[in-house]
Chain A
Amino acid sequence: RKEVEQDPGPFNVPEGATVAFNCTYSNSASQSFFWYRQDCRKEPKLLMSVYSSGNEDGRFTAQLNRASQYISLLIRDSKLSDSATYLCVVNGFYGQNFVFGPGTRLSVLP
């Protein structure tokens, strides 16, 4: 089993739709969780950290379920500019070894 797994994509949704991504991780001792977005041929950019209590930033909501070892990202009222690959990131087994998931590609269609 891979350390971090994500929904296989791509997700093609119309503008205004709500879309949810899921991510599961295998290391129960992981402490830090993040969502990054990566545009085509660009570097990953931090979207949001994920806290135990869940957190919201505008149209984006992240949730963490430690018992089931999964993280989710919800995007409401999706925009064309949300089209990107969304990467789930978890700190790995050793110190600061961060593990990225393979990413889920989102295309928001007009």
Chain B
Amino acid sequence: GAGVSQSPRYKVAKRGQDVALRCDPISGHVSLFWYQQALGQGPEFLTYFQNEAQLDKSGLPSDRFFAERPEGSVSTLKIQRTQQEDSAVYLCASSLNGNEQYFGPGTRLTVT
């Protein structure tokens, strides 16, 4: 079946621009996670949804980061006024049971 998809796969933004990253989870998966991965490091948790409810956003690095999942399926991670330190790969994962996670290919964001 179809896995997790993310778009765009690559995004170049000028510093100060807003970006929106999309995640389409596996159909029927209740849980959805966003991670940020810098080069050479493990993914860092950003936020977690169960259906449309955002149950944990403790990992969002600043109030410039915002995530939503209004209908409990597709999710969008928005970054306002991007900074160079936001350059990273943003990974989305979905899970049926909240434990084993299946990742999308990621969006590589470069802020220039």
Residues of A close to B43: CB separation below 8 A = 44, 87, 100
A-B contact pairs, 15 of them (CB 8 A): A34-B100, A43-B103, A43-B106, A44-B91, A44-B103, A49-B99, A87-B42, A94-B56, A94-B58, A96-B56, A96-B98, A97-B59, A100-B35, A102-B41, A103-B41
Residues of B close to A45: CB separation below 8 A = 103
The total of interchain contacts (Cβ-Cβ below 8 angstroms) comes to: 54
* A-to-B contact residues, CB < 8 Å: 4, 32, 34, 42-46, 49, 87, 91-92, 94-103
A94 vs B55: C-alpha distance when bound (angstroms): 10
* B-to-A contact residues, CB < 8 Å: 31, 33, 35, 41-45, 48, 50, 55-56, 58-59, 91, 98-106
Are the CB atoms of A43 and B98 closer together than 8 Å?
Answer: no
Q: Give the residue among A45, A46, A49, A101 with the most B Cβ atoms within 10 A.
A: A46
A100 vs B59: C-alpha distance when bound (angstroms): 13
A99 vs B99: C-alpha distance when bound (angstroms): 12
Residues of A close to B50: CB separation below 8 A = 96
Closest Cβ of chain A to B82, distance in Å, is 22
Are the CB atoms of A97 and B99 closer together than 8 Å?
Answer: no
Are the CB atoms of B102 and A46 closer together than 8 Å?
Answer: yes
Are the CB atoms of A46 and B100 closer together than 8 Å?
Answer: yes
